[in-house]
């Protein structure tokens, strides 16, 4: 279930008849539209929402509106609603972002926002986004997201934030850059003439100038105060007496006036107002459920007509809310007069919302009622949907609000809690919850258990209960994996698969993923491969294509280690195919497929194709990439640069990749630091390579494990190079000894990819000692294994010594076709590198660039023509300033400073 969008949150409050038109403020808002942000910051009751509603109706631009509430402090929920609000302006905006938010591993907020901003910048019209009630947000993550949004705001969007307190945004910086406009209490308060117009013109009261200024002084221009005062006076004859006693009183304006207004309401209305004051949103049927009476809709409409502080939340007059201040006073009155009523009212609201199928509100009211049993039941049923829609923070908030002892008798809820805790890394807490749940399962399985729990077990979601033993096993496997306990991961994941129904595809996919990881980490590649392949099929069957694509990465990487390059390529291709069949060719993970394919093409020495796929990956956009894609794509680019002879550039990219590294639980079998050490070796920087072996604590006598295989092979390379630089004779013996053991381990683990590299190194080690015939034996084996899979770079990356060995092999008739091909590749490379000219910078060797928006691409194409700036603006029917903004953004993204450079770079990248 995706987050249900409450449309009432997106409703732009229409101008109301009984308000003062405020041209000076409307003008101020209009004048500042070219800045990025307008901050409307003033206490409650200063007419912020009313003013913005009035302005929105006449500002001549489409306005997207989002009324925030406390739950929006959950960043996922905030983004979901942000997108929904933007969609009221441009219907198809952000669909990809919403999709990514629902995916099991959402990308970081910044990349989602970047994708969203790109789409925003392609909206044809200039528009406004209003975030109302921002003060309810209490989350640094949301503040950060908003800051990022403002810093990168496209020129066609203006943001308005209305709040009771200054938000945690870089206001000083925005102010200094002239990007911020502010409306504060001093601007918003009624001026004496506005007060006069309101009281006389709008409310139809005939008051003397003296009376008006007395009221203005007493309320200090506070609009809510003046409005209440006017309402009080309308319903009484003696306005003079009212003004005298009101201005003579020290009582808090709100207390005084609400009392006044309420006293003139019939008892029935007073009681309606108090009972319904506990609601955030009011509808007729909901109010009826609370009051036990009928006619709630009529009462609400009557309240709206008499301006009694209800605000409509839609055009159809179905939903209303009280003005926040009024609701506060009503609630305080109720707590004073009928304190015992509140829980019952909340319970009725909870029941009503439950019947309406709105579990979130039902849970909130159940918690407010202190009816934890009810809340627990509702939460238990809501867990699967909340998890699927990635609202774990909200879910955890509910779970933490429930008393601990409640979980002891509720195994399903307890396991749901464990799942939410595990995601937050709270392993200890999760275990306690799993143990609680298991007690009940043990009892169910073995009724004769000596100490049955004293209380009754409570299960709401029977289906989840039947699945519980399997769910518990999955969570135990996940926590074992997080601890790095491979045997336990395997044990629990196998148990889970054993317990799961054959058609529980999602469950089976998850368990298979964990099991595959465990096998992989322990070096049992064939089991890992089979498990992943099965898991991928289940995820596909469950319709979870994005995760199935994630599986494809693991599968392909394992295939490469097994030396099955062609299979690996097919796996990537199938991943892309799946996305295409799903109708979403830029689905998350597809960018990673292209990066993987690039690496395979590089190995085949088809550097053009490798470069093409890196470009494709970039063009797919950030949304199409998993969180690991930024570092993986840099590693792939580094390897291409290496092949082109640009070792410094390659190292630079590896440094970057190291900084961007994020784990995805896949065993880190090819650490970036080892890749850097290999680059140092090629550069002859032996000292740094040796330092690396010491830092990593590597020694030729180490026990070998698959997880450190890549590092140990790198160590063997360091040792050979050390011998070649004449430093020590011992090194070559150590290298050969280590390589022997590595070969044996790789053969045993059927890691043909590693076997080939180790054989190549053995050959090189023997050759370094001048023993050509000893060198040719392992080389022949390597060639035999590598030929069917089309390996090239594994050989030619080794440079001149390998070229000499291959010629020797060719002379002796070893694998003549293959050695011929490899030697030709050597020659081609030597020709390219041998000339005086430096290598031409190929497009892919540049660092990845931020993708350009559709609009920017249009501008870019016109930059390639003879048209002048104003002519381009004409052509695109936009303002010249808009063209300039796009141009600046294009320059930044392409890393250039002039039009000519931008066009040249764009041509290199194939953008025009």
Partner 1 sequence: MKETHTSSGAHHEPGLYEVRIVGHLDSRWADGFEGLSFTHESDGTTSLYGPVVDQAALHGLLRRVRDLGLTLVSVTRVEPDQAEEADSEP
Where along the sequence are the contacts to partner 1 (CB under 8 A)?
43-46, 135, 164-165, 220, 222, 224, 249-255, 324-325, 328, 332-333, 335-336
- DSSP H helices, 32-74, are 48-58
Give bridge partners of residue 130 from the DSSP assignment.
65, 160
Q: In 533-629, which ranges are E strands?
A: none
Please list, in sequence order, all residues whose beta carbon lies within 8 angstroms of the beta carbon of residue 44, skipping any fewer than 6 positions away. Answer: 164, 224, 324, 325
Q: Going by C-beta distance under 8 Å and a sequence separation of 6 or more, which residues neighbour residue 238?
A: none
How near is the Cβ of 334 to partner 1 at its closest, in Å? 9
Q: Which is nearer to partner 1, 253 or 549 (CB)?
A: 253
Place of tokens 């109708």: 583
Which of residues 164 and 574 has its CB atom nearest to partner 1 in the complex?
Answer: 164
Q: For the CB of residue 24, give the shortest distance to partner 1 in the complex, in Å.
A: 22
Rounded Cα distance between 723 and 651, Å, is 24
CA-based torsion, 193, 196, 198, 201: positive or negative: negative
State in angstroms the smallest separation of the CB of 255 from partner 1.
Answer: 4
Look at residue 278 and give its three-state secondary structure: coil
Can you tell me which residue has the tokens 């307890």? 414
Buried b / exposed e over 780-796, threshold 16 CB at 10 Å, is bbbbebbeebbbbbbbb
Q: Which is nearer to partner 1, 230 or 549 (CB)?
A: 230
Report the C-alpha gap between 535 and 455 in whole angstroms.
Answer: 39
Sign, CA torsion 537/541/547/548? positive
Rounded to the nearest whole angstrom, what is the least distance from the CB of residue 332 to partner 1 in the complex? 5
Q: Is 152 helix (H, G, I), strand (E, B) or coil?
A: coil
Minimum Å gap between C-beta 227 and partner 1 is: 12
Q: What is the nearest approach in angstroms of partner 1 to the Cβ of residue 342?
A: 10
Beta-carbon count within 10 A of 652 CB:
15
- Kindly state the smallest distance separating residue 165's Cβ from partner 1, in Å: 6
In this complex, which beta carbon is closest to partner 1, that of residue 298 or of residue 337? 337
Neighbours of 456 (CB within 10 A): 6
**DSSP secondary structure code for residue 624 in this structure:** G
User: For residues 40 and 561, which CB has a smaller minimum distance to partner 1 in the complex?
Assistant: 40
**Residue 860 token pair:** 């870019």
Lateral strand order in the sheet of 157-163: 63-67, 127-132, 157-163, 37-41, 180-184
Place of tokens 């913005």: 52
Report whether 779 contacts 805 (CB < 8 A).
Answer: yes
Tell me how far apart the alpha carbons of residues 576 and 748 are, in angstroms, rounded to a whole number.
Answer: 33
Closest to partner 1 by CB, 255 or 294:
255
Q: Indicate the residue among 400 and 580 with the shorter CB distance to partner 1.
A: 400
Q: Considering the complex, state which of residue 214 and residue 458 has its C-beta at the smaller distance from partner 1.
A: 214
Residue 247 to residue 210: CA distance in whole angstroms:
12
CB of 251 to partner 1, least distance (A): 5
**For residues 224 and 863, which CB has a smaller minimum distance to partner 1 in the complex?**
224
- Residue 183 phi, psi dihedral angles, 5° rounding: -120, 120
**Distance of closest approach, residue 252 Cβ to partner 1, in angstroms:** 4
Q: How far apart are CA 484 and CA 523, in angstroms?
A: 14
Q: Smallest distance from the beta carbon of 339 to partner 1, in angstroms? A: 8
Q: Least distance (Å) from partner 1 to the CB of residue 250?
A: 4
**Given the complex with partner 1, which of 254 and 786 has the nearer CB atom?**
254
For 373, the token pair is: 């049993």
Q: Which is nearer to partner 1, 43 or 790 (CB)?
A: 43
What tokens appear for 94 in the block?
Answer: 């952000």
Q: Which is nearer to partner 1, 330 or 593 (CB)?
A: 330
Q: Looking at beta carbons only, is 269 or 335 nearer to partner 1?
A: 335
Q: Closest distance between partner 1 and the C-beta of residue 638, in Å?
A: 48
**Considering the complex, what minimum distance in angstroms separates the CB of residue 355 from partner 1?**
30
The rounded distance, in Å, linking the Cα atoms of 827 and 287 is 85
Contact 667, 523 (CB under 8 A): no
Q: Got the DSSP string for 491-507?
A: HHHHHHHHHS-TT-HHH
Question: Pairing relation of β-strands 282-283 and 319-322?
Answer: antiparallel
Q: Give me the least distance between CB of 78 and partner 1, in Å please.
A: 20
Gap between the Cα atoms of 544 and 550, Å rounded: 10
| CB of residue 40 to partner 1, shortest distance in Å | 15
Q: Name every residue whose Cβ is closer than 8 Å to that of residue 201 and which is 6 or more positions away in sequence.
A: 20
User: Using alpha carbons only, what angle is made at residue 832 by residues 826 and 833, rounded to the nearest 5 degrees?
Assistant: 85
As beta bridge partners, residue 64 has 129
* Nearer Cβ to partner 1 (163/752): 163
Q: How far is the CB of 219 from partner 1 (least distance, A)?
A: 11
CB nearer to partner 1: give 31 or 138: 138
How many C-beta neighbours within 10 Å does residue 133 have?
Answer: 21
Nearer to partner 1, 48 or 467 (CB): 48
């Amino acid at each position: 279930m995706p987050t249900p969008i409450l449309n009432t949150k997106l409703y732009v409050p229409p101008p109301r008849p009984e308000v003062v038109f405020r041209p000076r403020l409307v003008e101020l808002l209009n004048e500042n539209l070219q800045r990025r942000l307008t901050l409307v910051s003033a206490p409650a009751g200063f007419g912020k929402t009313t003013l913005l509603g009035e302005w929105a109706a006449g500002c001549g631009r489409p306005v997207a509106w989002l009324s925030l509430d406390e739950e929006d402090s959950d960043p996922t929920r905030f983004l979901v609603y942000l997108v929904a609000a933007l969609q009221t302006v441009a219907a198809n905006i952000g669909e990809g972002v919403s999709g990514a938010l629902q995916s099991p591993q959402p990308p970081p907020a910044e990349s989602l926002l970047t994708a969203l901003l790109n789409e925003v910048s392609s909206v044809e019209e200039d528009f406004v986004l209003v975030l109302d009630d921002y003060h309810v947000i209490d989350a640094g993550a949301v503040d950060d997201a908003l800051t990022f949004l403002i810093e990168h705001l496209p020129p066609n969007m203006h943001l308005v934030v209305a709040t009771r307190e200054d938000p945690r945004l870089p206001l000083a910086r925005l102010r200094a850059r002239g990007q911020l406009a502010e409306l504060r209490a001093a601007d918003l308060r009624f001026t004496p003439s506005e007060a006069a117009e309101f009281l006389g013109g709008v409310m139809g009261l005939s008051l003397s100038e003296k009376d008006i200024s007395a009221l203005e002084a007493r309320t200090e221009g506070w609009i809510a105060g003046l409005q209440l005062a006017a309402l009080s006076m309308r319903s009484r004859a003696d306005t003079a007496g009212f003004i005298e006693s009101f201005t003579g009183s020290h009582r808090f304006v709100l207390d005084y006036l609400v009392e006044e207004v309420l006293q003139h309401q019939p008892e029935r209305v007073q009681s309606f107002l108090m009972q319904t004051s506990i609601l955030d949103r009011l509808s007729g049927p909901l109010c009826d459920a609370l009051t036990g009476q009928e006619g709630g809709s009529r009462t609400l409409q009557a309240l709206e007509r008499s301006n009694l502080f209800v605000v409509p939340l839609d055009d159809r007059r179905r939903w209303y809310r009280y003005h926040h201040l009024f609701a506060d006073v009503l609630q305080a009155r109720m707590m004073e007069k009928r304190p015992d009523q509140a829980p019952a009212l909340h319970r009725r609201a909870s029941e009503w919302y439950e019947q309406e199928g709105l579990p979130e509100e039902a849970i909130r009211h159940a918690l407010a009622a202190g009816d934890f049993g009810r809340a627990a039941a509702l939460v238990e049923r809501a867990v699967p949907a909340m998890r699927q829609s990635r609202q774990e923070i909200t879910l955890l908030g509910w779970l933490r609000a429930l008393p601990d002892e409640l979980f002891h008798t509720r195994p399903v809820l307890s396991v749901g809690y464990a799942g939410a805790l595990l995601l937050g890394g709270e392993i200890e807490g999760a275990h306690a919850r799993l143990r609680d749940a298991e007690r009940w399962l043990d009892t169910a399985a073995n009724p004769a258990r000596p100490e049955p729990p004293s209380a009754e077990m409570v299960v709401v979601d029977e289906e989840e209960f039947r699945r519980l033993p399997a769910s518990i096993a999955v969570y135990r496997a996940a926590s074992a994996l997080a601890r790095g306990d491979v045997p336990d991961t395997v044990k629990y994941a196998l148990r889970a698969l054993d317990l799961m129904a054959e058609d529980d595809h999602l469950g089976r996919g998850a368990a298979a993923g964990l099991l595959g990881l465990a096998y992989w980490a322990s070096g049992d590649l064939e089991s890992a491969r089979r498990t992943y392949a099965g898991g991928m099929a289940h995820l596909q069957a469950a319709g979870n294509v994005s995760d199935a694509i994630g599986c494809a990465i693991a599968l392909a990487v394992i295939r490469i280690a097994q030396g099955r390059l062609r299979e690996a390529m097919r796996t990537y291709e199938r991943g892309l195919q799946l996305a295409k069949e799903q109708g979403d060719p830029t689905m998350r993970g597809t960018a990673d497929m292209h990066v993987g394919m690039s690496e395979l093409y590089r190995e085949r020495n088809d550097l053009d194709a490798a470069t093409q796929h890196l470009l494709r990956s970039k063009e797919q956009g950030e949304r199409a990439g998993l969180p690991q894609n930024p570092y993986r794509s840099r590693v792939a680019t580094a390897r291409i640069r290496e092949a082109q002879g640009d070792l410094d550039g390659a190292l630079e990219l590896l440094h970057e990749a190291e900084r961007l590294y994020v784990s995805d639980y896949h065993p880190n079998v090819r650490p970036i630091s080892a890749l850097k050490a290999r680059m140092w070796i090629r550069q002859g920087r032996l000292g740094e390579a040796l330092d690396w072996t010491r830092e990593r604590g590597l020694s030729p006598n180490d026990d070998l494990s698959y997880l450190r295989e890549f590092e140990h092979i790198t160590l063997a390379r360091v040792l050979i190079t050390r011998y070649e630089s004449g430093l020590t004779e011992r090194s070559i013996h150590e290298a050969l000894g280590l390589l022997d053991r590595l070969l044996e381990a790789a053969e045993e683990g059927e890691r043909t990819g590693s076997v080939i590299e180790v054989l190549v190194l053995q050959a090189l080690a023997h050759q370094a000692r001048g023993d050509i015939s000893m060198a040719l034996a392992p080389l022949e084996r390597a060639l035999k294994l590598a030929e069917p899979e089309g390996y090239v770079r594994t050989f030619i990356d080794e440079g001149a010594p390998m070229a000499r060995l291959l010629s020797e092999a060719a002379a002796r008739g070893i694998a003549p076709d293959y050695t011929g091909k490899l030697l030709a590749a050597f020659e081609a490379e030597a020709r390219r590198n041998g000339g005086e000219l430096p290598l031409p910078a190929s497009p892919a060797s540049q660092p990845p660039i931020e993708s350009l928006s559709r609009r920017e691409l249009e501008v870019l194409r016109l930059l390639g023509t003879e048209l002048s700036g104003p002519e381009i603006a004409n052509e695109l029917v936009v303002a010249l300033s808009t063209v300039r903004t796009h141009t600046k953004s294009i320059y930044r993204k392409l890393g250039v400073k002039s039009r000519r450079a931008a066009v040249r770079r764009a041509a290199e990248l194939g953008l025009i």
